[in-house]
């Protein structure tokens, strides 16, 4: 019977079902790996920021960064929360964190609506906001703004694009919007930050 299926597939030019299934599985694995690497990169950024804030003696900022890093790593590993965490924190499940953060990263250049994120997590907007803050350590809006700032930093380091172009690619209204956001999260203007890294000895 299997030989007949193989012959029929060869005659019609169709790919055998097993091969098609394996191909789909490989693509799903590659996508999962890509998302996991993005989560690890984000967690590394949060840990680096936490260290920087700790050195500047900003304990509240340090705690928030560490909490976000923990949520990101839980999302990568798919690890369950520690016993008693769910009842105490009532945050998002690891699969919800993964899904929401992957959506945010994929849509940083476009408007991201809170109700769409809540729908991805299968929560009402209100309960989603509360659970997201408990899991990640910040509101969805603040997290999105931080991710847009991090994306702007990567673009400034890896491209010659103008700040106006970078602002647009990060879903921001204009260059002044980017500057305000950058000062808030980084502590200096994007132009000064970029210049210092382009000419580290200057």
CATH number of domain containing 149: 1.10.10.60
- Report if residue 183 sits inside a domain: yes
Q: pLDDT-based confidence at 32, cuts 50/70/90?
A: low
Model pLDDT for residues 64-111, shown as the tens digit of each residue? 666 666 666 655 444 444 444 444 457 899 999 999 999 999 999 999
Residue 12 lies in a domain: no
Given a cut of 80, whether residue 164 has pLDDT beyond it is yes
Task: Let me know if residue 10 belongs to a domain.
Answer: no
Q: Is residue 109 part of a domain?
A: yes
Mean of the pLDDT values across residues 155-169?
95
Q: Which residues form the domain of 161?
A: 20-78+92-189
Please say if the pLDDT value at position 182 is more than 70: yes
Q: Is residue 145 part of a domain?
A: yes
Q: Is the pLDDT of residue 197 over 50?
A: yes
Q: Which long-range contacts does 102-110 make (Cβ < 8 Å, 24+ apart)? A: 102/35, 102/38, 104/143, 104/144, 104/147, 105/38, 105/42, 105/147, 107/171, 108/144, 108/147, 108/148, 108/151, 108/170, 108/171, 109/168, 109/169, 109/170, 109/171, 110/171
Residue 201 within any structural domain of the chain:
no
Looking at the predicted structure, is the pLDDT value of residue 139 above 90?
yes
Identify whether 63 is part of a domain.
yes
pLDDT class of 169 with cuts at 50, 70, 90: very high
60-64: average pLDDT: 63
Give the total number of structural domains in the chain: 1
Instruction: Tell me the pTM.
Output: 0.58
Q: Is residue 174 part of a domain?
A: yes
- Tens digit of pLDDT for each residue in 18-28? 555 555 566 65
**CA 167 → CA 21, 133, 162, distances in Å?**
41, 26, 9
Give the pLDDT score at 81: 41
**Tell me, what's the pLDDT at 88?**
43
């Amino acid at each position: 019977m299997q030989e007949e299926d193989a012959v029929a597939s060869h005659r019609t030019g169709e790919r055998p079902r097993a091969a098609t299934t394996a191909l789909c599985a490989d693509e799903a694995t590659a996508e999962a790996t890509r998302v996991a690497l993005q989560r690890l990169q984000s967690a590394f950024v949060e840990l680096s920021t936490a260290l920087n804030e700790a050195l500047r003696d900003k304990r509240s900022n340090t705690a928030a960064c560490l909490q976000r890093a923990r949520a990101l790593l839980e999302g990568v590993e798919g690890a369950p929360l520690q016993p008693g965490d769910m009842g105490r924190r009532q945050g998002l499940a690891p699969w919800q964190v993964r899904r929401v953060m992957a959506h945010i990263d994929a849509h940083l250049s476009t408007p991201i609506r809170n109700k769409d994120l809540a729908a991805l997590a299968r929560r009402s907007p209100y309960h989603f906001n509360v659970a997201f803050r408990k899991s990640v350590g910040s509101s969805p809006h603040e997290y999105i703004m931080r991710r847009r700032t991090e994306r702007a930093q990567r673009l400034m380091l890896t491209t010659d694009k103008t700040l106006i172009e970078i602002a647009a690619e990060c879903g921001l209204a204009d260059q002044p919007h980017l500057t305000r956001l950058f000062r808030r999260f980084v502590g200096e203007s994007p132009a000064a930050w970029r210049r210092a890294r382009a000419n580290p000895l200057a």
